[in-house]
Structure 1
Amino acid sequence: MQSPSDFPSPPPGCPAHNSGQGIPLYTQEFARNPNAFYDYMRHFGPAAPVELAPGVNASLITDYAAALHVLQNPDTFVRDSRRWRALNEGRIPRDSPVLPMMAYRPGPLFEDGARHLRLRQAVTDSLAKVDTHRLTRMVERTATYLISQFSGRGKVDLIADYSQLIPLLVFNDLFGCPGELGDRVAFGISGIFDGVDAQKANEVLMEALIELVTLKRTQPGDDIITYLMQHSANLSDEEMIPQIIQLIGAAFEPMSNLIGNSLRVLLTQGGQSEGPHSGGLLVEDAINDVLWNSPPIANYATHFPVQDVDLSGSKLDAGDPVLISFAAANTDPNLSTGRQTLSKRAHLAWGAGPHACPAKDPAMVIAVRAIERLLNELPDIEISVLPDDLVYRPGPFHRALSALPARFTPARAQERATASYVSTARTVGGHRAEESPAAQKGKFWSGFLSWWKG
C-alpha cells in the first residue's frame, strides 16, 4: 500500500487530512462529484475510512472483489447492528440522521442465519405471488394518472411529480390499502423521505401500518400484506410491521432514484428523441447504465466483522461498521478491461450473497414501464436545464437528484385524462395536508382511487 504522503490531494471540501477524521459522505461536495471522492479513497486500499454523519465513522469498501468477499461471507461479516461497538458504548449521537438506516430492527435486513432465512423466505415467496401482467397494468395506470396531473402544463419536475410518486401509489396498491389508510401511509413515507416533520410522519406511518395489519387479519385480500400473513413462516404482528417497513424502505427510495436517474440518462443523451424503441438509447440500456455507474443506493449494506479482519491490507475492527460502495465497486478500475465481458447483471447494485435484493425483477418491471409510459405519452419531453446544472441531494447512502426539470408540448384539454383532485385542506392522519409537502403527497392515493373508479 501507498503511504498517505503518496496520495493525491483530497477532493474539494474533504477534510481527510485532519487527523482521525474520515472522508465525509454527507456533504454537498460529495453529492456533487462522488467519483472524485471514490478515486481518492482507493489509495487507502480496498477499504477507506469515512464519516457517514458527524461523529459516525465507518469503513467503505470501494474494491469490487473485496465487496463480493464481504457480501458472500456471512460468517465473518454479519448484518446484526447490535454488534455496533460505538453505538453500544454511547459514542453515536442518538439523534444521528443515519440511525434509522443503520440501527437494528427485527427483520431480514438486520438478521443473520436461520432467522434471516425464515423472514426473507416470507418476503420472496410473497413477492413471487405478484403476477407480472397485473403489476404492469398497475404501473401503467398509475403512470397515466400522474402524467394527467401535469400534461397540460408543458413543464414538470420529474422527481417530485413523477419518480417519487410512482412507488408510493404502486405499493399502496400492492399492499391493498383502502383510500384513507393509504393516504396516511403515503403521508408517513413521504415525510420520512423528505425529512420534513419526520417524527410526526413516522408516528402516522406506524399507526397506519398497525391498522392495516389488523384490517388484513379480518379482511384478507389479494395483496402482499395478506400473502405475508398467510405464509408458513407464521409471522406475528410484531414481526409483520418491521417486514412491511423494510419492504417500503427497500422499494421507495431505490425505486424513485432508479426511475429518476434513468430518466436523466435518457433525457441528457438524446435517447428519447426518436422514441424509446426506435433507434435511440433503449430504456433497458439506460437503466443498466444507472445500475452500473450511478446506482440508486450508492453506499449501504452495513456489515459488522465478528472479529478483527485484514482485508487485503485494510484493517477492519470487530464491531465497527463496514459499508459496501456499490457505486465505487462497479466503477473499480480493476474492472475497466473486463466489464465488457461481464454479464449485464454482474454489477452490485442489487447486492450479492444471502442479502441480495429479493425484488429486482418486479423493480425492473416498475422502472421500465414507468419510463416507457412517460416517453410514449410525452414524446418530445426534454430537460429544461443544462445537464451540469442538475443538483443531487446530499447524503451518504443514496444517489438521488434533487429535481429533474423538464418541458414538453402541453396536451390539449380533451387529450388529457380526467383527473380527480383532492382538496389540499383535507385531513391526513390527524394533520392538515397543507402543513407539509409530505401531506400534499399523502392526498394522492385517494385522488388516484377516485380517478380510477371514475
Structure 2
Amino acid sequence: MTDAQLTHTGAVRLYGPEFQQDPAGLYARIKREYGPVAPVLLDGDLPAWFVCGYREVHQVTSDSQLFARDTRRWNQWDNVPADWPQLGFVAYNPSLMFTEGDEHRRRAGAVSDALAEVDQFELRTLAEQAGDRLIDTFAGTGEADLMEQYASTIPLLVTAGMYGMPEADIPSLVRDITLSVNADAESAAAHQRVAEAMARLVELKHRQPGEDVPTRLIEHPSGLTDEEILLDLVVIIAAAHQPTSYWIGNTIRLMLTDDRFATTLAGGRASVGQALNEVLWQDTPTQNFIGRFATRDTQVGGQRVRAGDLLILGLAAANADPQLHSCGGAAGNHAQMSFGHGEHGCPWPAPELAEVIAKAAVEVLLDRLPDLTLAVHPEQLRWQPSVWMRGLVSLPVTFTPAYVPLGGR
C-alpha cells in the first residue's frame, strides 16, 4: 500500500450510492468533517484530494508551478487498471488540456485569439437558427424530451458553424461527439472518428480558408502544427458540448420548477440571464474537475499533499462555500468557479460564447413554446451518474402544439 493510500484509509468515496443520491449533501458533509481539502477515493478506491473550499480552489488553480496539469505526474499510475472508468479524463495526450508552461501559453493564446474573433451577434444568430430548426421537429406534437431533442444538440450545431464545417459533415459529427462522451464500448471508436473529421477539416481549410476558427488557428503567428490544431479543435468542441448542453437543460429545469420564473415563461425574457447565472452558482454543469498534480510535497487547506498526488477541483462545492456566501460574495456576480480559474481555466472568451449560445437557446424556446410544462414531478427527474458533470438524463415537457410551416422555418 502506498503512502497516499495509507493517508486515505477510511476516506469518503467520491462515487457510489451516496454521491448519486445527493452530491451537494455529500460535498457539505465532506467539508464539515475535513475542511476545505479532504481525502477522497475515486473508483477502485484510488486516493485523491478533494479541494472544496473556494479560497483553496482559487489557490490551487492560480499556482500552475506547484499544481500542474500534466497527468503523467500522477503517483498512482501503477495502481490504475486498464479498464478504469475515469481513464479518459487522465490518459495523457499532447493537446491543450495537458500542456504546461510556455507551451500551454502558446497553445491557449492561439485558441483565445481565434475565439476572440468570433462575432457574438453572428453567433447568437447561429444559435437562434439552430434552436428554431430543432423546435420545428417537435413543435407540432405537444411534447418533447428537451435534453435529447434540444439542449444536447444546439452547442454542437453552433460550434460546427464556428468551425466552418461543410453542412453534409455536421450530422455525423453531432452523432460521434455525443457517442464519444458516453463511457461505453462505442466511445473510443466515436472519439477516433471525431479526430479524423477534424483532420479532414484542417486539410480543407488549408485549401479553402474562411472566416472560421480552424483557419484562424492555421494562420496564427504561433505556428501551430496541423496535429496541434486538430487536437485542440477536438478539445474545444468537446468542452463546448456537454457543459453548455447541461447549462441549457439545468436552466430550463430551474425555470420550470421555480415560481420566481413563472412570469418569464408567460412571455418575458428578463429573468433568463438571472436563471443562467443562478445555475452556475447552485447547479453548475461542471461539478468537479480532474485535476491538478502536486509537483512537490506541500500543504493545502491544512492537509499534507505529496508530490504526484491528484487534486480534484470541487467547483460546485467551492461555489457553495458558506464562507463565500456569508460575506455576500455570491450575490449577483460572476465570480463562480464553474469555468475553472487561472492558466488552465476555460480560455477567454469561451465562457462568454457559451453564455451567448445558452441564452439564445433558452430564449428561443420560451418564445416558441411559452406554455411549457414539466411532464413529470420534479422529484422524478433523473440526473446523469457522472462524478464530473451535473446534467439531466431527460427533461420531458408538454406544451400547446404549435403550427410549423411545411419544410420548417
Taking structure 1 as the reference length, what is the TM-score of the superposition?
0.83
**Residue of 61, 64, 79 corresponding to 1:74:** 64
Structure 1 pair 22/216, CA: closer, same or farther in 2 (3 Å)?
farther
Q: Is the 8 A contact 1:307 1:319 kept in 2?
A: yes
SS at match of 2:384: coil
Q: Is the 8 A contact 2:255 2:262 kept in 1?
A: no
Does 1:374 find its partner at 2:362?
no
Residue matched to 1:431: none
Structure 1 pair 341/195, CA: closer, same or farther in 2 (3 Å)?
closer
Distance 2:329 2:191 in 1: 44
Does 1:141 find its partner at 2:132?
no
2:146 partner letter:
L
Moved over 2 A (4+): 19-29, 49-57, 179-184, 193-196, 270-281, 339-343
SS at match of 2:343: helix
Residue matched to 1:268: 257
Residue matched to 2:248: 259
Q: Using the TM superposition, give the Cα deviation of residue 26 of structure 1 relative to its aligned residue in structure 2, in angstroms.
A: 3.4
Q: Is the 8 A contact 2:264 2:272 kept in 1?
A: no
Residue matched to 2:51: 61
Structure 1 pair 331/209, CA: closer, same or farther in 2 (3 Å)?
same
Residue matched to 1:319: 308
Structure 1 pair 247/418, CA: closer, same or farther in 2 (3 Å)?
farther
Q: Using the TM superposition, give the Cα deviation of residue 98 of structure 1 relative to its aligned residue in structure 2, in angstroms.
A: 1.4
Structure 1 pair 280/233, CA: closer, same or farther in 2 (3 Å)?
closer
Percentage of pairs with the same residue: 35
Matches within 5 A, 1:13-412: 20=9, 22-42=11-31, 43-87=33-77, 90-196=78-184, 197-275=186-264, 282-339=271-328, 344-358=333-347, 359-411=350-402
Deviations 1:163-194 (A, max 9, x none): 10111111111111113322332222011123
Structure 1 pair 417/236, CA: closer, same or farther in 2 (3 Å)?
farther
Structure 1 pair 32/418, CA: closer, same or farther in 2 (3 Å)?
farther
Q: Using the TM superposition, give the Cα deviation of residue 376 of structure 1 relative to its aligned residue in structure 2, in angstroms.
A: 0.8
1:203 partner letter:
Q
Residue matched to 1:11: none
Distance 2:284 2:406 in 1: 35
Distance 1:265 1:192 in 2: 28
2:192 partner letter:
E
Q: Using the TM superposition, give the Cα deviation of residue 114 of structure 1 relative to its aligned residue in structure 2, in angstroms.
A: 0.7
1:84 partner letter:
W
Q: What's the C-alpha RMSD, in Å, of the aligned pairs?
A: 2.1
Distance 1:329 1:417 in 2: 47
Q: Is the 8 A contact 1:276 1:283 kept in 2?
A: no
Q: How many residues align?
A: 399
Q: Is the 8 A contact 1:81 1:304 kept in 2?
A: yes
Structure 1 pair 61/128, CA: closer, same or farther in 2 (3 Å)?
same
Q: Using the TM superposition, give the Cα deviation of residue 392 of structure 1 relative to its aligned residue in structure 2, in angstroms.
A: 0.6
Q: Using the TM superposition, give the Cα deviation of residue 24 of structure 1 relative to its aligned residue in structure 2, in angstroms.
A: 3.0
Gaps of 5+ in 1: 1-18, 420-450
Q: Is the 8 A contact 1:271 1:281 kept in 2?
A: no
Distance 1:51 1:407 in 2: 41
Taking structure 2 as the reference length, what is the TM-score of the superposition?
0.92
Distance 1:418 1:29 in 2: 49
Gaps of 5+ in 2: 1-7
Residue matched to 2:5: none
SS at match of 2:277: helix
SS at match of 1:150: coil
Distance 1:164 1:49 in 2: 34
1:58 partner letter:
A
Distance 1:340 1:208 in 2: 44
Distance 1:417 1:59 in 2: 55
Structure 1 pair 238/22, CA: closer, same or farther in 2 (3 Å)?
farther
